[in-house]
Amino acid sequence: MAGLELLTDQGYRLDGRKATELRKVQARMGVFAQADGSAYLEQGNTKALAVVYGPHEMRGSRSRALHDRAVINCQYSMATFSTAERKRRPHGDRKSTEMSLHLKQTFEAAVMTQLFPRSQIDIYVKILQSDGGNYSVCVNAATLAVIDAGIPMRDYVCACTVGFVDETPLADLCYAEESGGVSSLALALLPRGGQIALVQMDARLHQDHLETLIEAAMTACKGVSKVLDEVVRQHLQEASVLSRE
Amino acid sequence: MIKTEKVLHLKSSRGRKVRVVREHYLRERVPCFSSLCQADCENDGKVLPGDLTHYVVPDAEVVVNYLEVLEFPELQGLVITQTACQALHSKGRRFCDRLRNLLKDQRHDCVLFANEFQEYSYCPREKAESQEKWQTRCVYAAAVWYYNHLAGLMNVVMITEDEEAVSRFSSLNSGVFVIRVQDYLQNFWPELKAAHELYSSITQVLQEKEGEDSQREFSEHLPAEVLEAGIKSGRFIQGTLNVSKHRPQNEAFITNQGLSTKNPGAEAPLRSSFLLAEPAPTLDNLWEFWAHSYFRFSASDLSSGVLVFGSKSRNRAVHGDMVVVELLPKSEWRGKVTVLTEGQVDEKSGDDSETKAMPTGRVVGILQRNWRDYVVTFPPRDGTQSQSRNSQRILVIPWDRRIPKIRISTQQADALQDHRVVVRIDSWPSTSLYPNGHSVRVLGRAGELETEVQTILMENCIHVPPFSEAQLREMPVNSSENPWTVDPAEAAERRDLRETHLVFSIDPRGCEDVDDTLSVRSLAGGKLLELGVHIADVTHFVSEGSLTDLEARSRATTYYLADRRHDMLPSVLSADLCSLLGGVDRYAMSVLWELDAQSLAVTKVWFGRTLIRSSYQLHYELAQALLNGEEAEVPELARVDPEERDTKLTELTEALEKLTHIGRHLRAQRDRGGALELEGVEVRAQLDEEKNITALVPRQPLEVHETVAECMIYANHWVARKIQEVFPYQALLRRHPPPRQELFSQLVDTAQARGFAMDTRTNKALADSLDRAVDPQDPLVNRLLRMMATQAMSQAVYFSTGAQPEDQFYHYGLALDRYTHFTSPIRRYADMVVHRLLTAALQVEQGAEPAKTPAGNKDLEELAEHINNKNRAAQRAQNLSMGLFQCLFFKERDPEIDPRCVADGIIYAIRDNGVLVFIPEYGVKGPVYMRNKEGRVVSTGPDGTCEWQTGSVRRYTDHIITTSGSGSATFRLFDHITVRISVLCTNCHADSLNLEVINNKLHRSAAPQQPSSQGRNQLVQEVVRLAEEAQEKAAQRPKLPREEREFQQSKVPNLYSILEEIRELALMDLETASRVCPTTA
């Protein structure tokens, strides 16, 4: 079986991008009136819907409440129709639980939770179509939703995956690349200060390459943040036009 | 960033049809790689010239089927589309790699155009459009784009095999022509005969394929997904198929080599290539990963290999293929046959002569074909009669016995009778007993010297075309009217040693190309010694990436055959400007050590580029004579007045003495570490014979040989340390892995027969026990034991430091922790790489950025692999050509009368029906049968003469007994017997020597053993002479150039290099080992 050539000698990837180019990002905020905040984000063919409720009183057991800050509750799920082969359980499997945990950690680092002691913020993310980089798309979508909900954050949280092929880092992997045996790294960044909210990598990589890989991931994240910023500004403009009327 | 459209693709994976949506990004600017480009494309790398009449764009189908035709370097302006490239993917990786090499090759005029990523040349596939039609449309769109992009400055020709496309597209655009391949070749390249023939031969094969009958001969291979799953779960085993040389019909082995080379030890620093090969363990597949590694453990029991018995279970795999085997149940396991060579024993009697059963399996699938070009022989007329009803198809017999017969279609069958032809295998459908192939090139009539030598080169994939004009144009000029001089600017940057150092070289007599020189002097009033090794600075003349460099890289080494040599570099460099001749200024790369005069400990090392002038060009005998204080005539001092001569002579002698002192010290130092003296006096001579420079090597090696060799090893060692320090993950080193203990069993057993105990646990223990195992009566015993020890060892190999864990760097034979090759850049490419690395390392150390970043670990590992392969091929070719000359030599004589066909042999191994014998006089090893095909055995008369009688043979561990009517005869290990040498002629394969015992006593004339070297040398000369005479008589071809015959005089440029080569290649080819002792192979 001739393995897929992930990066041609001329520097093209499977889908025609160059190594550092991101997929096309399109997003809308406020797609879901019932929630406090919501956003829909497409990054290439990976599409996610994020919904935010809160901050509100603790639901369920009050004992989980923290006296100095808000609890962030994340739930990640994938639509049954999101992958090429139908998925049986939409959420609750180990992968989803892990992903929920990662999202929670990311947003605990970014949201100014100390402003809302003894309360709770719920973030629900659903992958509608999955084509690689699910984690980063979720983070990006959730960021927009949190902003839409008006919850103060330190900065945008932007996430991006990078892979390492032929000594070159590839930004924003698609599914074909992820499954092609690339060692990939997901990174969530607070771009303005350059702080890293979360790094995740469960492949093997020589330590010498780690730095270049993280460097590439940060550049990619900054690219994403520009797009998100534009989306937010556009949304605000529309919203202010509407409210003026 | 330009991003647009997404496109739907349909795709099936894991057997099921799955609909997958993939993105597809298009962009406006895709480089066109043409020098005519009007739009400022970013064309870096290869660019098509603008002075052609047209560019050619082959259709996908053409690339897939006729890639070989496109490989002709005469075809210029080739634009390969991405569509075609992807179509080739479906045909397998081998073809992709070939195309990629073609595209990378600077000498070849072709580029890749990423048409599917270009906004205007991309066409989405329409509903219900067949793949072929779509590909053709894409390629046409690309051709049109090219024409428009170059603003009509260049005509574009699209070649296709699709009639419909020709009629549909040809009239659409004025500058873009669509024609068939055949028309193209006829119109544009009518004089390129070879391409036409190749084209028609491939076409014929393609037509044949369509009309195949469908009677199934083999079971189908399993699909790739099943194989992959099977390998992971441990049900199947993956490995390289190795067909036995002796029983190619039935026996083949799977070696797990595939696993070990691909994943160099699980604890190795993990590099990206490794990561690619294996998916990372995520939570989901963690269990699978564990299971996988568990099964791999259990697979290590199979380290001795898996036997594949019979052609049915081999299932169309060809020698060298990467295959997947399934183990058979234990009840069906069988052992290998230890009886001597093929045809002697049929399968029925096989059971009792087999070793214990080993894992046996059958091939269920082939991961990767490793077909190369094969040399075949067309059978004579009568052989083809069975095929007469269909005279176009002929079964031809490959020269390599391990390759099955190949069926080819040709109309030239009559003309090609008894000719050697290069063919390629195309396919092997399950309906056919033999693979299908097509002919590529005719080499000549079988049996002619020139043809046979070409065959040997071809079979080892050695391509040595003469250096091209362009390559020679890169070379500096040095002629009498335009002499080469030292460039003052260059001289300023180098350390000038011309005045300060006494530099001299020691080489064999009459050597032309000197690549190493030495110097030694006292410093600081005698407290310090300065030792210097100065190596020819080849990389100054050959810059990386130049045409000469590319050629040298693909050759990797200078090839020495019995009667000729093929240089790695053009002779203006190898014999002149890079050669450190006496009395002229030359550039050099130097290593200078400051040693404490008393303890000889190193206090300082200096590496760098220098300018030297060698004062003396000594030869070994002269140097030794000076050392011994004998009267000797130094040619350089002949014209100097006597007084000055004396002072100069003392100066030189002193230097030599210091050098010898240092050499002894270094040697002793390595001996303590456990260095093996495999080149022990006798073995050295023996291997020298194979190098065929024996006239230069005296039987008693002089101490000065060793001194020079030690200095070179020391230089290599220090350079290795240096480059590894600076480039810990991308230095090219050479390692010699410790041998597997079980391979020593034959050595231990054999030595025991003579009462010697062998301790093989460490290299030191082995060296000591080999030194002890000396039979005072028979010096050959020690020589044979050393030879066996050598065969048990693996070969030293080049590697990139990033690809191996640090504890694997050890050089077993030399007992050094790091080693590389630095001292012979004229004839080894690895040395040139090391020179460049050293230069870069020095630049890095001075804080400067290296002019060119050294190759990464992956590239370097690839290069090391390439050089290793080429070295092995060179070694094989050398041995084969020596064998060829032996056969030609004995062919001319009648074994019954000629006294030279009778020689003394010594038994060194026992087999079931015979013994293996070594003949020191000719350096020949071979089997001697005790039982012949009719079942008769050897019996000896009272005077020791042997004849064939009915009887039986019994084998014991250290002797073999034949019993017949006239009594019994015993042959023990290390017995001397007299054998008669004759030639077994085969038309299709290489001839081989046949040995026959005629007396169980020592051969009479063998007692005053003449230097074996002479026999060898005469042999080659005589064969060459005969071949020439034959040619003169026939007056068919021009005479062999005189130089070629003269080459044999100075085969190898200097003795140190030979010694070094021996030291490492003494760790001989496993090929040789397997030929001699089939059971340990």
pLDDT value, residue B741: 78
Is the per-residue pLDDT at B937 higher than 60?
Answer: yes
CB-CB under 8 Å, B272 with A166: yes
CB-CB under 8 Å, B93 with A202: no
pLDDT value, residue A215: 93
Please compute the mean of the pLDDT values over residues B698-711 and round it to a whole number: 73
Is any Cβ of chain B less than 8 angstroms from the Cβ of A115? no
Is any Cβ of chain B less than 8 angstroms from the Cβ of A131? yes
Mutate to test the interface with A, among B3, B18, B41 (most CBs of A within 10 A): B3
pLDDT value, residue B211: 60
Confidence of residue B1018 (pLDDT cuts 50, 70, 90): low
Percent pLDDT > 90 in chain B is: 4
Q: Mean pLDDT over all residues of chain A? A: 90
Highest mean pLDDT among A155-164, B321-330, B410-419: A155-164
Highest mean pLDDT among B141-145, B368-372, B389-393, B949-953: B141-145
Greater confidence (B3 vs B661) lies with B661
CB-CB under 8 Å, A15 with B24: yes
CB-CB under 8 Å, B272 with A167: yes
pLDDT value, residue A101: 94
Greater confidence (B6 vs B1035) lies with B6
List CB contacts (< 8 A) between B23 and chain A: 15, 23-24, 44-45, 131, 174
Place of tokens 């810990």: B728
- Residue B441, classified by CB atoms within 10 Å of its CB into exposed (0-12), middle (13-18) or buried (19+), is middle
Is the per-residue pLDDT at A159 higher than 80?
Answer: yes
d(CA B89, nearest CA chain A) in Å: 7
Please compute the mean of the pLDDT values over residues B686-698 and round it to a whole number: 34
Confidence of residue B1057 (pLDDT cuts 50, 70, 90): low
Please compute the mean of the pLDDT values over residues B19-28 and round it to a whole number: 82
Please compute the mean of the pLDDT values over residues B1012-1023 and round it to a whole number: 55
pLDDT value, residue B342: 39
Is the per-residue pLDDT at B273 higher than 50?
Answer: no
Which of B345-349, B536-540, B912-916 is least confident?
A: B345-349
Please compute the mean of the pLDDT values over residues A119-141 and round it to a whole number: 94
Cα separation, B422 vs B373, in Å, equals 6
Q: Which of B57, B44, B61, B25 is nearest to B146 (CA)?
A: B57
Which of B260-269, B607-616, B924-933 is least confident?
A: B260-269
Listed in sequence order, the residues at least 6 apart from B121 whose beta carbon sits closer than 8 Å to its beta carbon are: B115, B138, B141, B142, B144, B145
pLDDT value, residue B337: 61
pLDDT value, residue B1035: 43
Burial B1040-1052 (b: 16+ CB within 10 A, else e): beeeebebbebbb
Residues 797-856 of B with CB under 8 A from A: 856
Please compute the mean of the pLDDT values over residues B41-62 and round it to a whole number: 84
Cα separation, A61 vs B262, in Å, equals 55
pLDDT value, residue B139: 92
pLDDT value, residue B1030: 59
Q: Mean pLDDT over all residues of chain B? A: 75
Is the per-residue pLDDT at B212 higher than 60?
Answer: no
Which of B296-310, B433-447, B521-535, B971-985 is least confident?
A: B296-310
Is any Cβ of chain B less than 8 angstroms from the Cβ of A68? no
Please compute the mean of the pLDDT values over residues B959-974 and round it to a whole number: 77
The secondary structure element, H or E, covering residue B310 is helix B310-314
CB atoms within 10 A of CB B217: 15
List CB contacts (< 8 A) between A202 and chain B: 280-283
Is the per-residue pLDDT at B382 higher than 70?
Answer: no
Q: Which of B853, B856, B875, B852 is nearest to B864 (CA)?
A: B856
pLDDT value, residue A217: 95
Please compute the mean of the pLDDT values over residues B889-895 and round it to a whole number: 72
Is the per-residue pLDDT at A127 higher than 90?
Answer: yes
Confidence of residue B311 (pLDDT cuts 50, 70, 90): confident
For residues B719 and B838, is the Cβ–Cβ distance under 8 A? yes
Confidence of residue B429 (pLDDT cuts 50, 70, 90): confident
Cα separation, B995 vs B1017, in Å, equals 21
Please compute the mean of the pLDDT values over residues A9-15 and round it to a whole number: 86
Residue of A nearest to B225 (CA): A1
- Residue B196, classified by CB atoms within 10 Å of its CB into exposed (0-12), middle (13-18) or buried (19+), is middle
Is the per-residue pLDDT at B902 higher than 70?
Answer: yes
Mutate to test the interface with B, among A26, A206, A209 (most CBs of B within 10 A): A206
For residues B913 and B345, is the Cβ–Cβ distance under 8 A? yes
Is the per-residue pLDDT at A224 higher than 80?
Answer: yes
Confidence of residue B386 (pLDDT cuts 50, 70, 90): very low
Is the per-residue pLDDT at B93 higher than 80?
Answer: no
Name the residue type at position B690: E
Listed in sequence order, the residues at least 6 apart from B699 whose beta carbon sits closer than 8 Å to its beta carbon are: B685, B1011, B1013
Q: Which of B1035, B1065, B151, B121 is nearest to B683 (CA)?
A: B1065
List CB contacts (< 8 A) between A25 and chain B: none
- Across chain B, how many H-helices and E-strands are there? 31, 37
Greater confidence (B1061 vs B711) lies with B711
Rounded to the nearest 10°, the torsion over CA B631, B633, B636, B637 is 60
Cα separation, B1064 vs B1081, in Å, equals 20
pLDDT value, residue B261: 35
Is any Cβ of chain B less than 8 angstroms from the Cβ of A245? no
Is the per-residue pLDDT at A102 higher than 80?
Answer: yes
Percent pLDDT > 70 in chain B is: 78
pLDDT value, residue B533: 92
Is the per-residue pLDDT at B709 higher than 50?
Answer: yes
Highest mean pLDDT among B346-355, B818-827, B1030-1039: B818-827
Is the per-residue pLDDT at B491 higher than 60?
Answer: yes
pLDDT value, residue B270: 32
Dihedral angle sign, alpha carbons of residues B775, B781, B785, B790: positive
Residue of A nearest to B45 (CA): A10
pLDDT in tens, B773-791: 777 777 777 777 877 777 7
Is the per-residue pLDDT at B406 higher than 80?
Answer: yes
Confidence of residue A91 (pLDDT cuts 50, 70, 90): low
Which of B82-91, B533-542, B740-749, B1067-1076 is least confident?
A: B1067-1076
Is the per-residue pLDDT at B107 higher than 60?
Answer: yes
**In order of start, what are the domains of chain A with their CATH numbers?**
25-244 (3.30.230.70)
Of A22, A84, A181, the CB nearest to B275: A181
Is any Cβ of chain A less than 8 angstroms from the Cβ of B267? no
Please compute the mean of the pLDDT values over residues B737-763 and round it to a whole number: 79
Which of B551-565, B1030-1044, B1047-1061 is least confident?
A: B1030-1044
Greater confidence (B762 vs A130) lies with A130
List CB contacts (< 8 A) between B269 and chain A: 206
pLDDT value, residue B471: 80
For residues A221 and A192, is the Cβ–Cβ distance under 8 A? no
CB-CB under 8 Å, A21 with B270: no
Is the per-residue pLDDT at B996 higher than 90?
Answer: no
pLDDT value, residue A237: 93
* E strand intervals along chain A: 25-29, 37-43, 46-57, 71-78, 119-129, 158-165, 168-171, 183-190, 195-200
Q: Is the pTM of this model over 0.80?
A: no
